[in-house]
Structure formats: C-alpha cells, structure tokens
Amino acid sequence: MKTYQSAELRSMFLKFFQDHGHAVISSASVIPENDPTVLFTTAGMHPLVPYLMGAKHPAGHRLTDVQKCVRTGDIEDVGDFSHLTFFEMLGNWSLGDYFKKEMIPWSWEFLTSEKYLGLPKDKLAFSVFAGDDDCPRDDESAQLWRDCGVSDDHIFFLPKENNWWGPAGVTGPCGPDTEMFIITDKEPCGPDCSPACSCGRYLEIWNDVFMQYNKKADGTFEPLAQKNVDTGMGLERTICVLNGKKSVYETDLFANILGKIAELSGKTYGSDAETTKAFRIIGDHMRTSTFIMGDDRGVSPSNVDQGYVLRRLIRRAVRYGMDIGMPDGFTGEIAKVIIDQYQTVYPELKRNQHFVVEQLALEETRFAKTLKQGNKEFEKLIAKVENQQIDGESAFHLYDTFGFPVEMTQELAKEKGLTVDMNGFHECFKKHQATSQAGAEQRFKGGLADHSAQTARLHTATHLLHAALRHVLGDEVAQKGSNITAERLRFDFSFGRKMTKEEIAEAEKLVNEYIAAAADITCEEMTVPEAKAAGAIGLFESKYGEQVKVYTMGSYSKEICGGPHAHNTGDLKSFKILKEESSSAGVRRIKAVIGATIDDE
Ligand code: SER
C-alpha cells in the first residue's frame, strides 16, 4: 500500500494549485485581527471572508495555502482517536473566478492521478447538495462527477445538514458543497448507508464549497455578488485516512511528539487506555499551545479570551502529564520538539521559541503552586458536597483563588461521580465582573466581524494610535493584538511599563491632530520587501513573496494590513483614550473610542 507523508501532501497540494494558476499565500495568524466575534482562526476561509464578499485580494483571484487552525469547542473530547484542537487546513480559492466545472475535474485529478494521490477510483464516493427552498439541487456537480467517470451509486444527494458549509459564524459567505470520501473495507451498515452516517464506511477527505450566498442576520440567504470556490482538506485527518490508520495520533505528524512524551515519562503509548489518552491530550494541547504562543500575534496565558483558552490547554496537559509521571518543566521540552518539526513550514515558531518556552515554564510554576492548595481545597469541598453536586460559588472560588479552570473542576468532579452547578458558577462569575470563559465561549457561536463603515473607522483609529504611540514612547512599541467592536477599539502593544498621564494625553492629542489634518488614506499593493523598503510597519509574515496591501494615512502612518479602512482620517471626527492597563507581561492595552458613530454611516 502506498504511504503518504504530511510534508509531501502539503507541497503536492500547493504545487498542484500553483500549476493551475493559483498564488501560494502564507498562513494567516491563528489569532484573527480586528475580529471580536471569534477567538481563533477556525478554517482556511476565515481570513479570506472580506475577499469572498468581494474585496480585491492583492495576490489575485486564485489562491492556495495551508492555514493554521484552532478549534477548541471539543476540548473535552480530545483524548479519543480523532479529536484535535489544532489542525492544518489545505485549501484553494476562487474569488469570483472559476467555479464547479473547473473545480470538480481538478479535485478528481488530484485524488486519482498517479502524479498526485493516485487513489483507486472505485474507492471514492461523493456527496452533492440535495436542494431545498434556499438553493436548488446540485445536479450540475453530480453530472460533473459522472463526466469524470463516477458511477451513480457512488454519488449521494444529501440535505443542508450534510452538504452545506458556513457561514463560519452566524452571518457571512456560505453555500452548498460537494464532499469527497474514501470508502473503507467496512461493510455498509444497512440499505441506507451513505456518507451521511457515522458507521465509518465513508471517511471524508476533502470538501469543495461553492460559496455563492451570504447568510444574513435574519437567517435568509442572498446571492453573493461573485461566485466563489472554497475548498478545505484537513491535513492530519487526510494523512490518517490515506494511510489507513485508525487515529490521527498515529500519523507522522505526532511521531516525534509522542516519542518525546514516551522518553520523558518512561511510559509506552498504547500500553493501556489511560496512558494512551494522556499521551494524546498532552500531544494535542502542547501542539495547540505552541502554535498559539509561537504565532507572531502570540498571547500569553491569562484569564481572558485567547489567553484563557491557552491556560486551559496548558493546565490540562500538565495535569495529564502528572498522571503518567512526566517530569517538572516537561512542557518546554515538548514545545521544542514541536517547533523543530514545524519550523520549516511555520518559521514564526522558531522566531518566537524563546517566548513560548519562557511562558510555558512560568505557567507550569504558577499552576504547580496553586494546584497543591487547590487540590486540598477540592478534597475539603467534596467531603461536604450535597446532592452529588459542587455548588457554583465553590467552583468559582476554586477558579478565582486557585486558578482552577472551571472545566478542570468539572473533570475532577466527574472522576468522583459528581457534577458542577454551572449556572451557579456563571452567576458568580458575572457578579465578579470577570470577563473570560463565559464570554469566550459565546464568541465561538458568534458571527464573523462585520465589515461596516464604523468598524473600518475604528480600525483606522488603531493605525493612528499605533503611530502616535511609537512617536511618544519609541520604536519598541509594536502591535500585539487588536479587537474592535461597534463601540470601541482595543489595542495591545509591547511596552515594558505603565504609561504616564502625560504620555497618554500626548498620544491622544497626536491622534486628534492626525484626524484634524483630514489626510487621505490610500492603499497600494506590493511585496513584503518593497513594503519594508517603503518604511511600512506591521507583520511581515509572508513567506512566498506574495503581494500585500500597504495603507498610508497622510505622512503619519504606513502599515501592512488587509483593511478595510476609512477613506480619510477626518472621517473619525475625534479620538479619546478610555483606559490604559496591563494586558500581560510586557504588553499594555488601550481602549479608546472615536467621535464618529454608527449613525454617521
Ligand atoms: N470552509 C470549508 C471547511 O472548513 C472548506 O474550506 O471545510
């Protein structure tokens, strides 16, 4: 049987689409910029939403990439054979360029040609959209598969539940898809066995989405101005299925990581169910944590937002590490293996290695300290528990005082046959005005950031603020994060100390001067070296020499950025800093508002 390596699949995929006129673009950050509605990038299409909606992408109408993705909704399920919180998604896009009649034969060629995956044709099955009131039955795709030589009994018409993708949040681009499956040796589970059932006969390896609708907030679908293609192939999963492995953890992507866990713990993966589960949880959570911190927008563990998810991942890995006898400080050792393995594909990991290892050591120490006390507290607590349930107040106390993520309390409780009163916990949480998991989880359910004129103006304000801060505090100031809601902007930047009152006033005054100057805002496309030479600041994360957008705001600001922005600095009307505070070690946070409001749209 042919074996497939992950590195080979990555490069084969990109090369195939490059040969079909696609520009290879770098993975975007796992931490979305200016998007308050999701914590992490969850799919290859996510950073491309504005372009699927019609904005012009600097690299053209045909793109391909390997995107770093984080999905932490199923964190509790990690430990079984398939769940992962981090994965890589191979994808290609048509931004209003080609459509079904190009994409389907290409998919067929990539799957079956000996030059590429070389899969046996009779081992492949396809699903297409069955049609409903929102969108007609996709006979065209079915016919295109037939034209490739697929027989009717290998084509399945399935409803929206199975054959529709998106939007990523509540609103945004979406459409019917056609999915591609490997048929395994498992017998059909019954007369209705199809790719829609979970019996394991059909394993999905690729998804071609025909993105031609925008789902609106009222739940209706309107046709998009352009017809797009968005495809996604999960690297880990596909490598697993192609090699006939039972688990994603048994692919080459995890070999070194699990090997290191074995070396450090003296235990063997697969020796028993508990050990296997611990290896998987440690492997997965460390990989995700390393990618979150090793990103150029990397964050450190904290009690809010991405930092909280990160804290949960690290602490859960440490807890399972203790169960299998991992030595103190093991997280940094595993991270180094992960960075070595991935650095050629994601060079930012190596650049940020020092930060990753340092943060892991700090978090491990912090956790060890609180864990001892917290465990004692937990034992006391369960001794007096009533109705098999830990009350919300106590769970909150563990969280607030001992740094126990509530999910960890839930897991510990479960091990003792108890539950946690989560409603009670959330009530206490709200009472204490803490912003974290509650809000964070809500956001996973939210829609993607809107692209209204008001968000564009607030986004423009962050560029002006960034420029003003560099003017007042010096060039050590660099953006670490940005988050925009309809009401305010929030800007995180590297700086070692609290700003003085005078410095805050000066930065605010400068931004107001930039606004009063009513300078035009222009956008140019160039390569990253050209942008650097032009004096632009921003993330230089491109690897492939692709074109990027550079926004210039009068003589004040020049930044690499995807946009969109206001047309003139005067559109902001005025600017006010509400708060300057610490975000994490070495990072300050400013919240600010502008004079323009949604009503000005
Ligand atoms: N957005 C689709 C997915 O996540 C295809 O890229 O599967």
Residue 243 CA, ligand 1 centroid: distance in Å:
22
Report CA(58)–ligand 1 centroid distance (Å).
22
376 located within any domain: no
Q: How far is the CA of 64 from the centre of ligand 1 (A)?
A: 13
Alpha carbon distance 554, 517 (integer Å): 9
Residues 294 and 205 reside in one and the same domain: no
Contact 230 CB / ligand 1 (< 6 Å): yes
Indicate whether 308 pLDDT > 50: yes
Residue 539: per-residue pLDDT? 75
Q: Determine the average pLDDT of the residues in 391-400.
A: 88
Contact 431, 32 (CB under 8 A): no
Are both 222 and 314 inside the same structural domain? no
**Would you say residue 393 lies in a domain?**
no
Point out the least confidently predicted range of 158-167, 250-259, 328-337: 158-167
Q: How far is the CA of 206 from the centre of ligand 1 (A)?
A: 9
Q: Is the CB of 45 under 6 A from ligand 1?
A: yes
Specify if 407 maps to a domain: no
* Among 459, 458, 466, 401, residue whose Cα is nearest residue 434: 401
Q: How far is Cα 38 from Cα 446, in angstroms, rounded to an integer?
A: 7
Q: Residue 114 falls within a domain, yes or no?
A: yes
Average pLDDT of the residues in 382-407? 85
The closest residue, in CA terms, to atom 3 on ligand 1 is 232
Note the pLDDT of residue 554: 94
> Has residue 54 got a pLDDT over 50?
yes
pLDDT for 439 equals 43
Residue 362 has pLDDT above 50, yes or no: yes
- Output the pLDDT for position 455: 84
Q: 177: pLDDT confidence band, cut at 50, 70 and 90?
A: very high
Rounded Cα–Cα distance for residues 378 and 260 (Å): 32
pLDDT at residue 268 in the model: 97
Between the CA of 207 and the centroid of ligand 1 the distance, in Å, is: 6
503 and 524 assigned to the same domain: yes
Note whether 46 and 121 are same-domain residues.
yes
Of the three residues 194, 220, 247, the one that is the final residue of a domain is: 247
Q: What is the pLDDT of residues 120-134, one digit of tens each?
A: 999 999 999 999 999
Cα of 84 vs centre of ligand 1, distance in Å, is 16
Ligand 1 pocket residue status of 47, Cβ below 6 Å: no
| Judgement on whether residues 123 and 232 belong to the same structural domain of the protein | yes
Q: What is the mean pLDDT of residues 544-564?
A: 88
**Together in a domain, 262 and 210:** no
Contact 574, 594 (CB under 8 A): yes
Q: CB under 8 Å to 141, separation ≥6 — which residues? A: 100, 104, 128, 129, 178, 210
Q: Is 537 close to ligand 1, i.e. is its CB under 6 Å away?
A: no
pLDDT tops 50 at residue 36? yes
Average pLDDT, the chain: 91
Q: How confident is the model at residue 434 (pLDDT cuts 50, 70, 90)?
A: very low
> Which range is most confident: 151-160, 191-200, 314-323, 526-535?
151-160
pLDDT at 370 over 90: no
Q: Out of 101-110, 239-248, 435-444, pick the least confident.
A: 435-444
pLDDT digits 0-9 by tens, 179-203: 999 999 999 999 999 999 989 899 9
Which token pair is 379? 């034992």
- 91 CA: nearest ligand 1 atom: 6
Quote the pLDDT of residue 402. Answer: 76
Helical segments of 149-201, H only: 160-163
Highest average pLDDT, of 35-39, 153-157, 421-425, comes from 153-157
Ligand 1 near 207 CB (within 6 A): yes
For residue 18, the domain's CATH number is 3.30.930.10
438 within domain boundaries: no
Inform me whether the pLDDT recorded for 444 exceeds 60: no
Structure tokens at 353: 């290695």
Domain-located, residue 417: no
* Residues 138, 232 within the same domain: yes
Q: If you take atom 5 of ligand 1, which residue's CA is the nearest one?
A: 232
Domain for residue 143, yes or no?
A: yes
Confidence of residue 529 (pLDDT cuts 50, 70, 90): confident
How far apart, in whole angstroms, are the C-alpha atoms of residue 598 and residue 601?
A: 6
Residues 38 and 53 in one domain: yes
Q: Is 173 in the pocket of ligand 1 (CB under 6 A)?
A: no
State the pLDDT at residue 498: 96
Q: Which of 275-289, 303-317, 368-382 has the highest mean pLDDT?
A: 275-289
Q: Reply yes or no on whether the pLDDT at 443 is more than 50.
A: no
- Predicted pLDDT at 209: 98
Note the pLDDT of residue 440. Answer: 41
The residue out of 367, 400, 431 marking a domain boundary is: 367
Q: Are residues 261 and 220 in the same domain?
A: no
44: Cβ below 6 Å to ligand 1?
Answer: yes
Question: Which ligand 1 atom is at minimum distance from the Cα of 43?
Answer: 4
For 404, phi and psi rounded to 5 degrees? -80, 110
Confidence at residue 203, expressed as pLDDT on a 0 to 100 scale: 92
CATH code for the domain of 520: 3.30.980.10
Q: What is the pLDDT of residues 400-422, one digit of tens each?
A: 777 787 888 998 899 899 999 99
Give 332 Cα–ligand 1 centroid separation in angstroms: 32
Q: What is the pLDDT of residue 546?
A: 77
Determine the 3-state secondary structure of 180 from DSSP.
strand
Of 80, 97, 409, 109, nearest to 240 by C-alpha is 80
| Whether residue 298 is found in the same domain as residue 230 | no
Residues 219, 287, single domain; the answer is no
Residue 382, domain member (yes or no): no
The answer on pLDDT for 438 being more than 50 is: no
Q: What is this structure's pTM?
A: 0.84
Q: Taking residues 360-365, report their average pLDDT.
A: 95
pLDDT of residue 374: 84
Task: Quote the pLDDT of residue 368.
Answer: 86
Tokens of 330: 């093991």
pLDDT at residue number 102:
98
Among residues 316, 347, 367, which one ends one of the domains? 367
Whether 22 has a pLDDT exceeding 60, the answer reads yes
Ligand 1 proximity of 209 Cβ (cutoff 6 Å): yes
State yes or no: pLDDT of 352 exceeds 50: yes
Ligand 1 centre distance from Cα of residue 461 (Å):
32
**Sorting pLDDT into bands at 50, 70 and 90, what band is 437?**
very low
User: How far is ligand 1, taken at its centre, from the CA of residue 559, in Å?
Assistant: 30
CA 165–ligand 1 middle distance (angstroms): 7
**Ligand 1 atom 7: the closest Cα is on which residue?**
232
Q: Which residues contact 307 (CB under 8 A, 6 or more apart)?
A: 299, 300, 301, 584
What residues pair up with 174 in beta bridges, in sequence order?
A: 213
What pLDDT is recorded for position 545? 74
The Cα 467–Cα 305 span in angstroms is 26
How many structural domains compose the chain?
Answer: 3
Q: Are residues 235 and 256 in the same domain?
A: no
Kindly indicate the confidence band of residue 27, based on its pLDDT and cuts at 50, 70 and 90. very high
Q: What is the pLDDT of residue 399?
A: 83
- Per-residue confidence band for 451, with pLDDT thresholds at 50, 70 and 90: low
Q: What is the mean pLDDT of residues 31-43?
A: 83
Q: Determine contact, residues 1/244, Cβ cutoff 8 Å.
A: yes
Report whether residue 165 contacts ligand 1, using a CB cutoff of 6 Å: yes
User: Atom 4 of ligand 1 has which residue's CA nearest to it?
Assistant: 43
Ligand 1 atom with least separation from CA of 44: 6
Find the domain containing 594 and state its range. Answer: 453-600
Whole-number pLDDT of residue 583:
85
**Closest-lying ligand 1 atom to the alpha carbon of residue 234:** 7
Is the pLDDT score of 223 beyond 90?
Answer: yes
How high is the pLDDT of residue 435? 44
Contact by Cβ (8 Å): 164, 129:
yes
